Structure 1
Amino acid sequence: MNKFNDKLAIVTGGNSGIGYATAKELIAEGANVIVTGRRKEAIEKAAEELGAIPFVADQGKLEDIISLKDEIESQFGKIDILFINAGITGKSDSIENMSSENFDNVIDINFKGAYFTLSKFIPLLNDGASVVFLSSIVASIYKPNSSVYQASKAALNSIAKTAAVELAPRKIRVNIVSPGPTKTEIMTKAGLDSKTLEGLNDWLTELIPLKKMGNPEDVAKAVVYLSDNNIASFMTGTEIVIDGGMIL
């Protein structure tokens, strides 16, 4: 018997990368999975490939989060697993030259959107449910030209730990996965061309003790682990770092 039979899971940003891989792992373990994304064509294509249920919703827009919550409540009722995964890196720039537009875009999706996704979905979470936030090792690394992205993930870690305490009376566990460099489409979406991306990947690989980039499946398996009440029932407010030793 699969560990998530009769469980309903939501994966935000589920059309590619870590979200897609996690949805695939959850489905393989028997869960019914709802995947969300901003682009209708992309999320519907991913859902068809996965055998998931698609919903078009932009985590950066509060009205989309509320509509998503209302639709899921109307059609499905309660949920058991919530993986708040959607996020962007934004544009790299110094604090001195940072635009308010880029600041708002990153914070609206990575922090405000994640915060209110949890906030609005708390009434739909079954007692004993699992919530997992996708963070990043950048939350505790202070590199130039990445101030807003780093700050958005640090803020995310803070609210995840507060939520773990607030929701503990209902046995709802809230945890964090923080990947290091991972082979996903996020940097392509940030506007890097293939040659620049290849150079960046080679440079990052040299910084990682294990001398390799992570894969989305590495993170997906950690999310599945944290979502399993039989294995991780005593884990809440925990951060699992998946970075090949990069922050050592």
Structure 2
Amino acid sequence: MSATSNAFNEQTILITGGSSGIGLASAQAFIHAGAKRVYITGRSQVRLDQAREILGNKVIAIKADVASISDLQTLHDKIAQQGDKIDVLFANAGIAIHNQFGNTTANEFATTFDTNVKGLFFTVQSLLPLMKPASAIVLNASIAASKGMPNLSLYNASKAAVRSFARSWANDLKDRQIRVNTISPGVTRTPIMENGLGMKEEDIANFSAYLADAAPAGRMGQPEEIAAAVLFLASKAASYVNGVELCADGGLIQV
């Protein structure tokens, strides 16, 4: 599907965590593909304002933390007040932080699961009344759910839960013909590397060198490449695709 096609002509899209990285790239792609309106959320008003400048007047940016049930209700209400119904929901907001098993605190556990699991669950549940029949939901998981990466057990497990939600919700929502699929990115060059994982440029360069041998693609992914896979799952081209996990990882966990 071309990024300049009209595959999403006149459609309303909602992307949580849409102010940077994969969320921002997906918002750009949906707009290029004809979306009428794209809602994006984020926790930083500054970053939302910056994203709004990049994306233009088809975007409505709403400050909301998916870990907050009241913020999610406010998000629902603001979309409803606009009179919009949602064609595509990309539940993308998430965090990645290291934890050391044996020394992990309850607060570290809560921080990860409140956003990546509880936040995603209640994002979708709270917005269900605004979803159109035969609409599409895409959940952002990660290949970490399958890899068991060290010092990331909380993140790995939280993303495994996301994958599980897609399977269950595909059944739960079949009467409304709402498709639910999962995108599982591989190593992707986004701000979460610095902001969440605390990686320095040297760390990122070393990771890139590792991927040159470890992944058939020989490199990291770019947010725009993940966005292209998200748009496929959300589009009519994927009308018979439901409950799947699409790994956009350059082959890292495939071979």
The TM-score range, normalised by the shorter chain, is over 0.9
Question: Which of 99-108 and 21-30 deviates more?
Answer: 99-108
Matched, 1:29 2:33: yes
Matched, 1:135 2:141: yes
- Which of the numbers 4, 10, 13 marks the counterpart of 2:8? 4
In structure 1, distance between residues paired with 2:83 and 2:206: 45
**2:99 and 2:154 in contact (8 A); partners too:** no
3-state SS of 1:18 partner: helix
Tell me which amino acid in the other structure corresponds to 2:161. A
In structure 2, distance between residues paired with 1:133 and 1:241: 12
3-state SS of 2:38 partner: strand
In structure 2, distance between residues paired with 1:223 and 1:48: 23
Matched, 1:108 2:114: yes
In structure 1, distance between residues paired with 2:247 and 2:14: 22
Matched, 1:15 2:19: yes
- Which of the numbers 165, 174, 179 marks the counterpart of 2:171? 165
Matched, 1:217 2:224: yes
3-state SS of 2:238 partner: coil
Q: CA deviation at 1:228?
A: 1.1
1:54 is matched with which residue? 61
Q: CA deviation at 1:198?
A: 2.3
2:154 is matched with which residue? 148
Tell me the TM-score normalized by structure 1. 0.95
Tell me which amino acid in the other structure corresponds to 2:224. E
**Which segments of 5 or more consecutive residues in structure 1 lack a partner in the other structure?**
none
Tell me which amino acid in the other structure corresponds to 1:17. G
Tell me which amino acid in the other structure corresponds to 1:77. D
1:69 is matched with which residue? 76
Q: CA deviation at 1:197?
A: 2.7
Q: CA deviation at 1:161?
A: 1.1
**2:208 and 2:219 in contact (8 A); partners too:** no
Tell me which amino acid in the other structure corresponds to 1:16. S
Tell me which amino acid in the other structure corresponds to 2:123. T
3-state SS of 2:96 partner: coil
Tell me the TM-score normalized by structure 2. 0.93
Q: CA deviation at 1:110?
A: 0.7
Q: CA deviation at 1:70?
A: 1.2
- Which of the numbers 206, 209, 214 marks the counterpart of 1:207? 214
In structure 2, distance between residues paired with 1:59 and 1:14: 12
Q: CA deviation at 1:75?
A: 1.5
Q: CA deviation at 1:2?
A: 1.2
In structure 2, distance between residues paired with 1:76 and 1:58: 22
**Which segments of 5 or more consecutive residues in structure 2 lack a partner in the other structure?**
none
- Which of the numbers 23, 40, 44 marks the counterpart of 1:39? 44
Over the aligned positions, Cα root-mean-square deviation in angstroms equals: 1.3
3-state SS of 2:134 partner: strand
2:102 is matched with which residue? 96
Q: CA deviation at 1:77?
A: 3.0
**1:188 and 1:197 in contact (8 A); partners too:** no
2:183 is matched with which residue? 177
Q: CA deviation at 1:195?
A: 2.3
Q: How many percent of aligned residue pairs carry the same amino acid? A: 40
In structure 1, distance between residues paired with 2:102 and 2:239: 45
- Which of the numbers 186, 196, 216 marks the counterpart of 2:203? 196
3-state SS of 2:7 partner: coil
Question: Which of 132-141 and 69-78 deviates more?
Answer: 69-78
